Amino acid sequence: MLNARYVKRGLFTFKNSLVRSKKSSIFRIIFRPNNVFNLYHTLSGKDLAKDIRKEAFQEILNIKKSHPNFSPTLKIIQVGSRPDSSTYVRAKLKASEDSGVNCIVEKLSEDISEFELLNKIDKINNDDSIHGLLIQLPLPKHLDETKVTNAVSYTKDVDGFHRYNVGELSKRGGKPFFIPCTPNGCMKLIEKAGIELCGKNAVVLGRSDIVGTPVAALLKDRNATVTVCHSRTTNLSEILAKADIVVAACGKANFVKGEWLKDGVVVIDVGINYIPDVTKKSGRKLVGDVDYNTCKEKASFITPVPGGVGPMTVAMLVTNVVLAAKKQLLKNETPLNITPLPLKIETPVPSDIEISRKQTPKHISTVAEELGIHKQELELFGHYKAKLSLDILDRLKDRENGKYILVAGITPTPLGEGKSTTTMGLVQALSAHLHKPAIANVRQPSMGPTFGVKGGAAGGGYSQVIPMDEFNMHLTGDIHAISAANNLLAAAIDTRIFHEATQKNDATFYKRLVPAKKGIRRFTKSMLRRLEKIGVNKTNPDDLTPEEINKFARLNINPDTITIKRVVDVNDRMLRQITIGEAPTEKGLIRKTGFDISVASELMAILALSKNLKDLRERVGRIVIGANYNNEPVTCEDVCCAGAITALLKDAIKPNLMQSLEGTPVMVHAGPFANISIGASSVIADRIALKLVGKQASESVAEDRDETGFVVTEAGFDFTMGGERFFNIKCRSSGLQPNAVVLVSTVRALKLHGGAPDVKPGQSLPYEYTQENVELVRKGVANLVKQISNARQFGVPVVVAINKFETDTEEEIEVIKKAAIRAGAFDAVTSNHWAEGGKGAVKLAEAVVKATKQESDFKLLYNVDSSVEDKLRAIVTKMYGGAKIEISPQAQQKIDMYKSQGFGNLPICIAKTQYSLSHDPKLKNVPTGFTFPIRDIRASIGAGYLYALAAEIQTIPGLSTYAGYMNVEVGEDGEIEGLF
């Protein structure tokens, strides 16, 4: 036994109380001649690595308690089948399993091209389910190791080889994402020994990027004085003789000799070398870069080979994977940080296009990055717009939704009351001024209104989508895709009627309908679905009987029942009714039909209501194009056109990403007309946006919903139209429930309802609108009260936004506020976002945030299983204030037909004027006691609703004498002029 005094050897002092075995190290006493003894300490990496793996396992279990889906995952790519690589991979796989880390090993062919390997790495980089990616080295000679290892994202580079991690490690005060495993393992062994590195003289023998250079940086970071040498360094033994710490990583067996070292040195041997050994079964022995037998006599601490640094390398790899998963989890739970663009407000407010041009937008990739959208989920269309992949929904499926806000309005004037502008201003206020993540979801403008009277839908003033000319024109071509798909269906219908009429022989017609290709006949997928529909359980075209052939091939479409019209995205009134088939080649198959505007088509409604591409395909197939002569519905699937239509819409189904004037994100998708169709942007855009601004679902944060962001979407025209359809049709389809409704009101509109003269586009406002008239406002405010009542029927809080104009007075606004609160609004706030941008809507945004924290009692207006007549009656009496409905004989006949076809239990919307709560645009304010006429009923079975036509509503608008297109020009620089 050693006595209780201190025994000094070199720089390090030990107590006899430390002479004992530990899990991580063992003290050895070696007696020399003349009773001189040496005390050295073996640093066991094997035992320490085991402890580290246990700690990792327990840490994963602890995190899973609050985040059940937490699963650190390592992907190892092994190119080729080198035995040594396979051995290392097995060790890493075993260590991962022991630590609770999911490890996926993918073995690739040795002759894989560099291009293929880099593509595979890129996909893994963008896969959030993979936290660490390791490329097992060495690689075959035809692959550039530096290029390949640097292709791994530095955020998944758990080896620590990426130039970013290496560079940050080398910088003073640098912050690498990961520390390389072997150097980190060396440092952990030194730390375990309790060695104080500050001021010590450390020599690193080896200058590789994998060990030598990074371990030198780590030692320097701990304030050691570091010398980096290599096997050819002059006077190496003299340099080593002064070292307090030696890290040997030169790759030469038994290179460092004990006589080179001073007493008490700490030796970390990183070498892995094989030398011949006849006593071993394999004929070779594993040794390090240090001559262990001679060096241990000088060392105070020394690592063995094997069992020293090697096990630590694998343990630190596991630790890095867990660290990567924790960083990913933290990133998922960190609120989005959307950097606003500064506004330079001018007075008077310039035109919309001038304001848009004076702002320099962010690159759209920056907007996407701020939203946490991955590179592979973004398809760029120029610098300022892009499409988003639906894969985002799958990636974020476990995230809680953000808050959902609907912007609707009172019954408007022909000039509009600024719902789009309010939507933009509200989101700019939420995101740029209150620093809450927020996305505006709006419809794509139709070029009908853009070139007509109403104008575009970008918002206005200092609250708009930019670039507004790109937004209001073609955008990414979605409406064109809708037009092409719709017109393909129309052509397919007329073509089918033609061929059935001109080919009387069933066998000949069937042979042409299902032709042989390379001697083989096959049914298409649509054909197989039709066979299933008619009860024929056969898949070989040659097996059908003559009766089955007739039943399958002859659709027998009654031309008088066809509901599909061709469409165009222009207000072309002369196409409302046309005659087709006049050419002699059409064999006298003449019929009357017409055009709709593209955004009134059923396909546009389907685009808005579909949840994904599969849902869209099913809905397209269900479109009822008309009936046969037995009054049975004929579908798009029967015409065998659903697949082609879906192909035309496969890109249109992806929402478009743009930004507001203050750089806040805007998603633009679908554009169904509000007076004819559902008047709301897409379900897909809403679902993606709600996930993007939501938060990770976990027990630790589930109770605190204040951290979620906001999605603000808009319903067209007044609440009785866009708002009612939003709830009864869109919410039924999406399953989403708004947290609040913002009801946009203006003094101007309430004066109109109070008895002021009509407002006409292109003409000066009558003086009643520019001068204070409290009495007109007091009379007209009944319309606002009614719309508040309408919105409250759905059980969500209502905030009234008073969109302020410069001629409005405080007395007029006060009348509105008091009436709104009495009517049950949660709050009523004046907003000046048109002139001030988001700053002018801060109070509105604060009111909305508070409203979303209120209890809600979400409910719908009617039961879909009620009769069609009862559903119509519920809308007219509860929303419009009418006394009863009057259904024309033609409409009743349609209702009876839809019931017999099994479509009576669908929700319904009513196409009517937007300028009155009633069917008559002349009836302002809150008319009551009126009879509401239903002149026709149509079916959008694919979209999933029926729609009634009231009075003389048109499905394609016309152009005015002085239309918007007259102002539009293109300058020599290619910039569009004259838009608003």
Evaluated on CA atoms 427, 428, 429, 435, the torsion sign reads positive
CA 938 to chain CA centroid, nearest Å: 35
User: Does the domain made of 868-949 have the CATH classification 3.10.410.10?
Assistant: yes
pLDDT at residue 704, as a whole number? 45
For 419, 800, 886, 888, 893, the CA distances from 951, given in Å and listed in that order, are 26, 31, 11, 10, 17
Q: Where in the chain is the domain with CATH 3.10.410.10?
A: 868-949
**Per-residue model confidence (pLDDT) at position 456:** 61
User: Residue 581's CB: how many other CB atoms inside 10 A?
Assistant: 17
Question: Can you spell out the DSSP letters for 770-802?
Answer: HS--HHHHHHHHHHHHHHHHHHHTTTS-EEEEE
Q: Which residues pair with 203 in a beta bridge?
A: 227, 246
**pLDDT score at 30:** 46
Say which residue the tokens 């260590």 belong to: 95
Residue 570 and residue 754: Cα distance in Å, rounded? 35
Say how far apart CA 864 and CA 878 lie, in whole Å: 16
Fold for domain 45-325? Rossmann fold (3.40.50)
pLDDT recorded at residue 11: 37
Which ranges of the chain have pLDDT less than 70? 1-39, 448-457, 697-707, 960-967, 978-980
By three-state DSSP, how is residue 240 classified?
Answer: helix
Alpha-carbon distance 251 to 288, whole Å? 8
**Residue 94 confidence (pLDDT):** 92
Model-level pTM? 0.88
Fold classified for 358-475+654-694+705-852: Rossmann fold (3.40.50)
Reply yes or no on whether 136 is catalytic.
yes
Set 75, 78, 156, 159: catalytic member: 159
Q: What is the pLDDT of residue 34?
A: 45
pLDDT value of residue 962: 65
Residue 785 CA to residue 410 CA, distance in Å, equals 9
Please, where are the H alpha helices in 852-952?
868-874, 889-900
**Residue limits of CATH 3.40.50.300 in the chain:** 358-475+654-694+705-852
Rg (CA), the chain: 37
DSSP E strand boundaries for 208-366? 225-229, 245-248, 265-269, 273-276, 284-287, 299-302
CATH topology of domain 479-649: Domain 2, N(10)-formyltetrahydrofolate synthetase (3.30.1510)
Max Cα–Cα distance, the chain, nearest Å: 124
- Give the residue among 499, 91, 508, 475 at the shortest CA–CA distance from 311: 91
Q: Which of 75, 78, 136, 269 is catalytic?
A: 136
Give the C-alpha separation, 38 to 298, whole Å: 7
* Structure-token pair, residue 892: 């009743």
pLDDT at 31: 43
Question: Of residues 75, 92, 298, 779, which has the active-site annotation?
Answer: 92
Q: Which of 672, 714, 653, 680 is nearest to 476 (CA)?
A: 653
Specify burial of residue 287 (Cβ count, 10 A radius: 0-12, 13-18, 19+): buried
Task: Tell me, rounded to whole angstroms, the distance of Cα 472 from its chain centroid.
Answer: 23
Residue-level pLDDT at 390:
97
CA distance 464 to 797: 26
| Residues 636 and 645: beta-carbon distance below 8 Å | yes
Of 781, 746, 783, which Cα lies nearest the Cα of 765? Answer: 746
Closest CA to 51 of 25, 76, 90: 25
Does 758 qualify as catalytic in the annotation? no
Q: Where in the chain is the domain with CATH 3.40.50.720?
A: 45-325
Q: Which residues contact 902 (CB under 8 A, 6 or more apart)?
A: none
Give the SS3 label for residue 27: strand
pLDDT of residue 934: 95
State phi, psi for 599 to the nearest 5 degrees: -75, -5
Query: What tokens were used for 389?
Result: 């992949």
Q: In the annotation, is 242 catalytic?
A: no
In tens, the pLDDT along 19-39 reads 333 444 444 544 444 444 456
Give yes or no for a contact between 840 and 425, defined as CB atoms under 8 angstroms apart. Answer: yes
Within the chain, all domains assigned CATH 3.30.1510.10 are found at 479-649
